[in-house]
Structure 1
Amino acid sequence: MSQMHSVYEQMRENILSLGMKPGERFSERTLESRFEASRTPIRAALSRLEGEGLVCRDERGWSVTPISFGEIEQVSEFRRCIERDAIALACERADPGHIDVVVEMVTSCTIDGPRAEWHRVGTELHVEIARMSGNAFFVRAIEDVMLRLARARWLEVWTTEGRERSIREHLHILELIRERRRDEAVEAITTHASDACRRSLAALMGDTKQRRGLAIVGGSA
């Protein structure tokens, strides 16, 4: 693995897991020391993260991009539109073996397992549903959407209740795809995405330990 890719992967994971908090400022020199890397790979990694909207730069230096309520709402709206079409095609085209693999992936998560694993599986589930559609453009779109929502979605698996709800809803959606129940699958994934957006925004607006210290744009401070 190249030095640039190593720095990029570590920073990306820290940002998406809220280890590096929205609004947190940092310098290239600090990153050089932290990752024991030279300036060139650090700048290349930052350029890639900037392109993904995870870091931003101003005259004072670098910072982790604040969470934007407006962006969450718009991305969630876009997500609902593309997931409805993707799951409709998945109900027609999904291979039963593919569904079995995804079900196994979902059930592999234990309620008391690492939050990072729950977050990863939740993301991959939606990408795999898009893959079942047989359309690569849906896959790319969902990958981008889930990246944009990653930090807000982190709060979805904060509690045991959230994890139990996640596995229950995901398995129900997969069963609807398996049974080719197109209209019900479209309704289920639309409701799932809408509720996830609502819960994330509510958690970010509330005075909860999850949200403290996070820079949030468009909500109460």
Structure 2
Amino acid sequence: MSTDHVPAVPESAPSRRDRVYATIRDELMNGGFSPYERLTEERLAERHGVSRTPVREALARLQSDGIVVKREGGLYLYVPSFRELTDLYELRITLELRGLTRALEDPTVRHDRPRLEAELDHWYGLRDHRPAPDAGFVAHDEQFHTTLLDASGNPALTGALAQANRRIRSVRMYDYLTEDRMTATITEHIEIAELVVRDRLPEALEALREHVGASREVVMHRAAAALEMTRNLAGQVTR
């Protein structure tokens, strides 16, 4: 049987869906669309040279991420108010720190060490094979923080954190677009988890407080820039 001709392997549906999702997401986050511009399957499919199916799936994922919202009978880029973002970040910080303070206050509260060690292994892998800056890295970050909190044994706190994360995810994605923030996130996550695994909770609490605070400053700075861009776009629309 001849082996001269090997048929090309077609691109898999999942990889095509992921590509369309990532492309639209990055355009939304980098000012490619005004918050006042309706996002339609037809226009996006034509823009990216694909069928409407992967675009429809991408828009559904972007809604789940909180980047796209439904209003006025259509889908639009979501831009939270600065006050809303401030309040949600305060909630996030309170929940995350509580996972450690409750263990400090009650000696019967013990963190799930095997879960934290497994999460540490994941971050050691990211440190050794560092991915390029990408907004999607927020999924790794959320996993770390929810695992750290859940390991303290109160699922109600974890559920509240997951809900807060969903509401600020669209803005927090801006935290992972530069090499320095990627490096800092990986390094600090490893430091925090190692301290908790070693039962050095006071030090872990301080490291977590500094880590989340630094992330907050970056996100708020970039959120302010995004809101300014939104105001400029609104001015262009109304001219």
On whether the aligned pair clears a TM of 0.5, the verdict is: yes
Alignment of structure 1 residues 15-26 onto 2, 5 Å: 17-21=25-29, 23=35, 24-26=37-39
Output the amino acid matched with 1:76: Y
Match of 2:170 in 1: 151
Which one scores higher on RCO, CA 8 angstroms, separation ≥ 6? 1
Find 1:128's aligned residue among 124, 132, 147.
147
Change (3 A) 1:203 1:65: closer
Distance in 2 between residues matched to 1:188 and 1:141, nearest whole Å: 22
**How far is 1:127 from its partner?**
1.1
2:94 is aligned with 1:103: no
2:63 is aligned with 1:49: yes
**How far is 1:176 from its partner?**
2.0
* Alpha carbons 2:65, 2:166 under 8 Å: kept: no
Would you say how many aligned residue pairs link Structure 1 and Structure 2?
202
* Alpha carbons 1:72, 1:197 under 8 Å: kept: no
Change (3 A) 1:15 1:152: farther
Change (3 A) 1:182 1:16: farther
Change (3 A) 1:16 1:166: farther
**How far is 1:128 from its partner?**
0.6
Instruction: Structure 1: give runs of 5+ residues left out of the alignment.
Output: 1-5
Find 1:80's aligned residue among 81, 93, 105.
93
Distance in 2 between residues matched to 1:159 and 1:88, nearest whole Å: 32
Match of 2:10 in 1: none
Output the amino acid matched with 1:215: T
Which digits, 9 at most, give the CA deviation of each residue in 1:35-70, with x for residues without a partner?
534xxxx6xx86x938968403126x3312124322
Distance in 2 between residues matched to 1:147 and 1:139, nearest whole Å: 12
Alignment of structure 1 residues 55-66 onto 2, 5 Å: 55-58=69-72, 61-66=74-79
Distance in 2 between residues matched to 1:77 and 1:216, nearest whole Å: 25
2:218 is aligned with 1:199: yes
Identity %: 18
Match of 2:110 in 1: 93
Find 2:194's aligned residue among 167, 171, 175.
175
* Alpha carbons 2:103, 2:110 under 8 Å: kept: yes
Match of 1:215 in 2: 230
Distance in 1 between residues matched to 2:42 and 2:157, nearest whole Å: 39
Output the amino acid matched with 1:84: L
Change (3 A) 1:15 1:195: farther
Change (3 A) 1:159 1:128: same
Instruction: Structure 2: give runs of 5+ residues left out of the alignment.
Output: 1-13
Distance in 1 between residues matched to 2:227 and 2:84, nearest whole Å: 20
Output the amino acid matched with 2:145: H
Match of 2:138 in 1: 119
Q: Give the structure-1-normalised TM-score.
A: 0.71
- Which stretch has the larger CA shift, 184-193 or 23-32? 23-32
- What secondary structure is seen at the aligned counterpart in 1 of 2:171? helix
Who wins on radius of gyration, i.e. which is larger?
2
Q: CA RMSD in A?
A: 3.9
- What secondary structure is seen at the aligned counterpart in 2 of 1:25? coil
Match of 1:186 in 2: 205
* Alpha carbons 1:56, 1:62 under 8 Å: kept: yes
